[in-house]
Amino acid sequence: MSQSQKIGFIGLGIMGAPMAGHLLDAGHQLFVNTQGNTPEPFISKATICASAAEVARQADVIFIMVPDTPDVEKVLFGEPGTLGVAEGLKGSRGKIVVDCSSIDPIATKGFAKRIIALGCGYIDAPVSGGEVGAKAASLTIMCGGDEGTFGQVRPLLEKMGKNVTLVGNVGDGQVCKVANQIIVALNIAAVGEALLFASKAGADPAKVRQALMGGFASSRILEVHGERMIKRTFAPGFRISLHQKDLNLALQSARALGVALPQTAGAAQLMNACAALGHGQQDHSALVRALEALAQHTVTPD
């Protein structure tokens, strides 16, 4: 593909805005559509489209970054009163849809089949790294789809992430993302329990964390989320409510596969408890608040 391309981007939220910004900075012509207000610099430097269909008509590659499976379905296929990407793709063979949202792997396969039937390509490319990774263009991007189609969009994905991998066929990127969210959730729960235990026992959780960072228990979760638990900085990089959704996807898929995920189920319940306590819009490191409520003790005072 040529260096400067016509790129569509639908969903300019916490993650989508910086991701699209990297494409803009790379010199691509952007056509955007989002719920709510369009952030700068897109107002002055991109073309704002009234619908997802209009984005698809104007762009050759269309990125989607929205919260959940129903949101992706609405963007792709519309609903009464709105036109989706599929409508804009009609008669335009060879265009490519890249869904960076984290959604149901089974639904993804169905969405892809409908888009491919229009003569267009489809890549599912969920991301990991949160707001920090999106801003730094250091996201891990897990892709599913045809190898040739992936090769066409890989240079664009590499503007947004450092670890871009074709995992397998359509839907496999979403499977990989679900696996990622299982690992992250269980690690957050483990760090929360460890720091809460240390604090309740009378040790300084900050010094305990510092000591653990030099040993086998060291992890990115202990480094970043452990610090958030200690400093009580729960402004969202990735919200509890979104991780709830991802763990529900994991448990639904596991049920369909006949696989038991007991630790994942426990982490999901802690996320649910956090939401019930009113913390659903906080960062997923706030999972520790559910543990603290059970212990009637905080890692450090709020």
Q: Do 196 and 292 meet the contact criterion of CB atoms below 8 Å apart?
A: yes
Give the integer Cα–Cα distance in Å for 19 and 39: 13
Nearest to 174 by CA among 71, 250, 105: 105
- The string of DSSP letters for 197-226 reads HHHHTT--HHHHHHHHTTSTT--HHHHHHH
Phi-psi label, residue 58: left if phi above 0, alpha if psi -120 to 50, beta otherwise: alpha
**Residue-wise pLDDT tens digits, 188-207:** 999 999 999 999 999 999 99
Q: Do 166 and 143 meet the contact criterion of CB atoms below 8 Å apart?
A: yes
pTM score: 0.90
Give the integer Cα–Cα distance in Å for 95 and 41: 26
Q: Peptide bond preceding 126: is omega within 30 degrees of 0, i.e. cis?
A: no
Q: Which residues of 177-200 are buried (b: 16+ CB within 10 A; e: fewer)?
A: bbebbbebbbbbbbbbebbbbbbe
* pLDDT > 90: percent of the chain: 93
First to last CA, the chain: 52
Q: Which residue has the tokens 């510092």?
A: 210
Residue 2 has pLDDT above 50, yes or no: no
Neighbours of 148 (CB within 10 A): 8
List all residues 6 or more positions away from 40 whose beta carbon is below 8 Å from its beta carbon. Answer: none
Q: Which residues are catalytic?
A: 177
pLDDT at 302: 85
**Residue-wise pLDDT tens digits, 73-121:** 999 999 887 899 999 999 999 999 999 999 999 999 999 999 999 999 9
**Residue-wise pLDDT tens digits, 226-285:** 999 999 999 998 899 999 999 999 999 999 999 999 999 999 999 999 999 999 999 999
pLDDT at 82: 83
pLDDT at 40: 87
Handedness of CA 19, 93, 72, 126 (dihedral sign): negative
Three-state DSSP state, 178: helix
